[in-house]
Chain A
Amino acid sequence: MADEEDETGFDDELDDGSSGVDVGHGRRKRLFSKELRCMMYGFGDDQNPYTESVDILEDLVIEFVTEMTHKAMSIGRQGRVQVEDIVFLIRKDPRKFARVKDLLTMNEELKRARKAFDEANYGS
């Protein structure tokens, strides 16, 4: 079974509390259990997904965020994570790229709308 576990985070499923291999990863409290369940249902899984699957997905997401962060730190301005770095890293993946562009555009629009709304309020 060991050769299947090249994914990080499985350790905590097998681990019986020994201080073993991967201390940081998967030993921490589950961060996204509730949200991931809803997400998995939304993406097509059953309404009650298996806890083990949710755990695997959480570990994968955390690893993904970690990798992206490390990569972003190493490009552009060193040691800092900036939006431009993330956009650069994502450029080859059309889905993610489009999503990030949309999110950032929408955020700007909402900020502008909020500001206009506040100013209108301020006038009255």
Chain B
Amino acid sequence: MADPARIKAEDTPERIKSVTEGNLKPEQTEDVSAPEKPKDENIQLSSQDLPKQEVKPETAAREDEEEGTSGQPPSKRLKVEPEKKKEKRHKVDEDEIQKMQVLVSSFSEEQLNRYEMYRRSAFPKAAIKRLIQSITGSSVSQNVVIAMSGIAKVFAGEIVEEALDVCEKWGDTPPLQPKHMREAVRRLKSRDQIPNTKYKHTVFH
């Protein structure tokens, strides 16, 4: 099953050459009126580890890359039988992939640009690794860096999305201003989506 973006001829060489794939989190842009919100995800990897030869195996591996059940809470997944789950997941994958293909094929130029940025942008692994190691004082494995970069990107996305909501609510237009960002952070904090171990509220003392 091809990557939805690959159906575009000019995108194809880019997509195959670059090994970096982005997040397929459902996103809302200003131009998109009512986008479908598939729940599949794509994997994002840095191109540092993989040489150019990786095109073939990577293309083969791409078949399974889209995760259909990622939208469900993790606990639900365990209750389905393993065999049925694989079949179901395959079908859901194919549906989602097709839907994504249809969606991406109908993007305007601006939307395509934005989507490409959304998928390709990533935190540099070296900087994240340096940051983590400066805190732990010892070295960390590559998987930790991969996981942390991925989560950091999701985190940034959550803030930007919330800030865009705030911006719209206040009747402003993008680009986002610091006041939107701060209000977004305040809202996320109240929902406990921002970790904070600095100020602890002791009830009984």
Minimum Cβ distance to chain B for residue A95 (Å): 6
Give every chain A residue within 8 A of B122 (Cβ-Cβ): 35
**Given A70-B197, A97-B74: A44 touches B155 (CB 8 Å cut-off):** no
Q: Are A80 and B53 in contact (CB under 8 A)?
A: no
**Given A35-B122, A44-B160, A79-B138: A99 touches B23 (CB 8 Å cut-off):** yes
Query: Is A83 close to B, CB under 8 A?
Result: yes
Give every chain A residue within 8 A of B13 (Cβ-Cβ): none
**Given A71-B195, A96-B155, A114-B50: A82 touches B61 (CB 8 Å cut-off):** no
Q: CA–CA, A49 to B164, complex, Å?
A: 12
Q: Are A7 and B176 in contact (CB under 8 A)?
A: no
Q: Are B70 and A98 in contact (CB under 8 A)?
A: yes
**Given A48-B175, A95-B154: A117 touches B56 (CB 8 Å cut-off):** yes
Give every chain B residue within 8 A of A57 (Cβ-Cβ): 156, 159-160, 181
Q: CA–CA, A71 to B136, complex, Å?
A: 11
Query: Is A94 close to B, CB under 8 A?
Result: yes
For the complex, count residues of A whose C-beta is within 8 A of B: 65
Query: Is B7 close to A, CB under 8 A?
Result: no
Among A38, A99, A121, the residue within 8 A (CB) of B150 is A99
Q: Could you tell me which residues of chain B, from 5 to 46, have a CB within 8 Å of some CB in chain A?
A: 22-23, 25, 27-30, 41-45
Residue of A nearest to B199 (CB): A6
Q: CA–CA, A98 to B44, complex, Å?
A: 13
Chain A interface residues toward B at CB < 8 A: 4, 7, 31-32, 35-36, 38-46, 48-50, 52-53, 56-57, 60-62, 64-71, 73, 79-83, 86-87, 90-91, 93-107, 109-110, 113-114, 116-117, 121
